[in-house]
Amino acid sequence: MLKGQKRWLYIAVPIFFFWFFGQIDKVGISVIQTDPEFLNALGMNGEDKNAKIGLLSFVFTIAYGVSNLFWGFIIDKLGARKTAIAGLFVWTLTMISSGLADSYEIFLVSRIILGFGEGMMIPVSGKFISAWFNKRELGRAQASWLTGNYLGPAIGAVALVLVISSIHWQAAFFMLAAFNLFINIPMFIFLTRNTPEEHPRVSKEELSFIRSTSDHNDKEESTTEKKSFAQDYRFWMVWVGMIICSFLFFGISIWLPTYLIEAKGFAREGMTSITSLSWLFALGFVLACGFLADKTRRPSLMAGILFGMTAVFLTVAAFIPNPILAGISMGLAMGCQGGVFHLSNMLMVKYSTPETAGRAAGLLGFTNIMGGFSSYIMGWLRDLSGGDFGTSIAMLIVAAALGFFAYLFTIKKEAADLQFSPLPVQKVNT
C-alpha cells in the first residue's frame, strides 16, 4: 500500500493538518470578533470599535509577515522539521494565553506572538515541497496542503460558532491549542524528515522519481543555478502579486462575518453558512488551479485572470441589492484570491532551488504584512463612514485591478518559455 508514494503520507498529510488547524488559529478571530460577549470582555466598543478589531489582525499580520524573513533563513540552516515543531509549540502557548486574556492589551500581545510563531508556515511548507516532490507535480503537491488552508476555516467557522454559543469564547482558544498539541506536533515528530534521503521508509525507486528530471527541467535547473531567484524579475512580479493578494484576502476574510451580520442583516446561522461556503469556494479554486497549472503550465496567466475575476465579483457585491447574492459574490472574490495564493507559492518553488526555497518562501510570506494593513484600514474606513462598507469594497476593487496589471508583465515571458515535456515515469515495484 502506497508503495512508491510515501511522500504523500509522510509530508502531504502532516502539512495538510498543519494548515488545517493553523488557519483556524489565524482567521478564527473573524468569527470570534462577532461575539458581543468577547467584544465587551476585552473593551472593544465605542466609536473606535472597528479600528480596535482591525488592529488585532494588523499586529498579527505584521508579526507574521516580518517573521517569515527570519524563519526563512532559520529553515535553510536548521531544516523544516525542527522549525515546524518549534513554531507549533509557540503558537500552542499563545492560544492558551489568548483564552486567558482579560484585557484588550494582553490579547493584542498574544496576537503578536501568535503571528511570530505561525510565520514559519509558508517557509516550512515551501521547503518540504521543494525537497520531497518532483518538479512536475508541484501543483498537486501544493494543492494537497493548501486544501487544509481553506478546508480548515470552512469547518472551523461552524465549530467555533458551536463552541462559542454552547460554552464560551475562551473555550474556542483552548480547543485550538489542544488540536496543535495532540495532533500537529506528534505528526511532525514521528512522520516527517527534512529530505526523503533521511527517511528510512522511502524506497530507492521513489527517491529516484523525486530527483528525476526531464530534459526541459534540466535546462531550467541549469539556468537557475547560474541565476538566483532574486535576479529573476518574474519572482518579483509574483512577490508584488502576493502583496496585493494578501491585501485582498485578509481584508475580505477577516471582515466577511461582520459584513454579513452588520451590513447584510444575516443571523449568526446564515453568517456561518456563507462564511463556510466562501472558504469552500477558495478550496475549489485551489484544487482547480493545482490541476490546471500542471496541465497548462500557464500559472501566471491564470493568476492574472483570477485578479480580474476578483474585481468583477467585488463590484457585483457592491451594487447588487440581494444580500445572499452579495455575500456569495464576496465569497467568490475571496475564493479567487485563494487560487492566486496557490499559484504564487507554486511559482515561488519554480523560481528557486531546494537550497534557497526557505528564503524565497520567507520573502513571499513577508507579503502577508499587507493583510494587516487592509484589515485595519477597512476598520478605520468603517468608523469614518459610520459603519458602511462601501469605501472599503471600492478600495479592494482598485487593489484587484493592480494585481491584474502586475501579472501582465509575466504572461508574455511565460508564453515564450512554454515547452511541453513528458512527465518522468515513476517505477514502482509490484
Q: Domain for residue 291, yes or no? A: yes
CA distance 15 to 1: 21
Q: How many CB atoms lie within 10 A of CB 418?
A: 11
Specify the pLDDT at position 289: 82
- Which residue range(s) make up the domain with 243? 230-416
Same domain, 79 and 206: yes
Q: Which residues contact 149 (CB under 8 A, 6 or more apart)?
A: 19, 20, 23, 282, 286, 338, 341
Reported confidence tier of residue 253, pLDDT bands at 50, 70, 90: confident
CA distance 128 to 25: 22
Same domain, 325 and 206: no
Q: Which of 186, 212, 238 is the last residue of a domain?
A: 212
CA distance 262 to 174: 28
Place of cell 496589471: 405
Same domain, 190 and 330: no
- For the segment 280-297, the average pLDDT, to the nearest whole number, is 82
Q: Domain for residue 204, yes or no? A: yes
- For the segment 185-205, the average pLDDT, to the nearest whole number, is 91
* 3-class state of residue 35 by DSSP: coil
Same domain, 285 and 374: yes
Q: Which of 212, 242, 268 is the last residue of a domain?
A: 212
* Chain mean pLDDT for the chain: 83
Closest CA to 15 of 71, 96, 87: 87
Reported confidence tier of residue 223, pLDDT bands at 50, 70, 90: very low
Would you state the cell numbers that stand for residue 233, as one nine-digit string?
A: 524579475
Q: Domain for residue 220, yes or no? A: no
What's the CATH number where 289 sits? 1.20.1250.20
pTM: 0.73
- For the segment 159-175, the average pLDDT, to the nearest whole number, is 90
Closest CA to 13 of 139, 151, 130, 188: 188
Same domain, 185 and 246: no
- For the segment 28-40, the average pLDDT, to the nearest whole number, is 86
Q: Domain for residue 62, yes or no? A: yes
Q: Which residues contact 310 (CB under 8 A, 6 or more apart)?
A: 248, 333, 336, 337, 340, 400, 403
Same domain, 64 and 132: yes
Q: Domain for residue 222, yes or no? A: no
Same domain, 196 and 237: no
Tally of residues, the chain: 430
Specify the pLDDT at position 213: 65
Q: Which of 146, 180, 212 is the last residue of a domain?
A: 212
Q: Specify the number of domains making up the chain.
A: 2
Specify the pLDDT at position 17: 92
Q: Domain for residue 225, yes or no? A: no
Same domain, 404 and 367: yes
Would you state the cell numbers that stand for residue 407, as one nine-digit string?
A: 501579472
Same domain, 2 and 56: yes
Same domain, 294 and 346: yes
Q: Domain for residue 423, yes or no? A: no
Burial of residue 141 (CB within 10 Å: 0-12, 13-18, 19+) is: buried
Same domain, 164 and 285: no
Q: Domain for residue 422, yes or no? A: no
Q: Which residues contact 333 (CB under 8 A, 6 or more apart)?
A: 248, 252, 309, 310, 313, 314, 317, 396, 400
Q: pLDDT (tens digit, 9 = 90+) per residue, 371-419? A: 778 888 888 888 888 888 889 999 999 999 999 988 887 777 676 666 5
Percentage of residues of the chain with pLDDT beyond 90: 27
Same domain, 170 and 143: yes
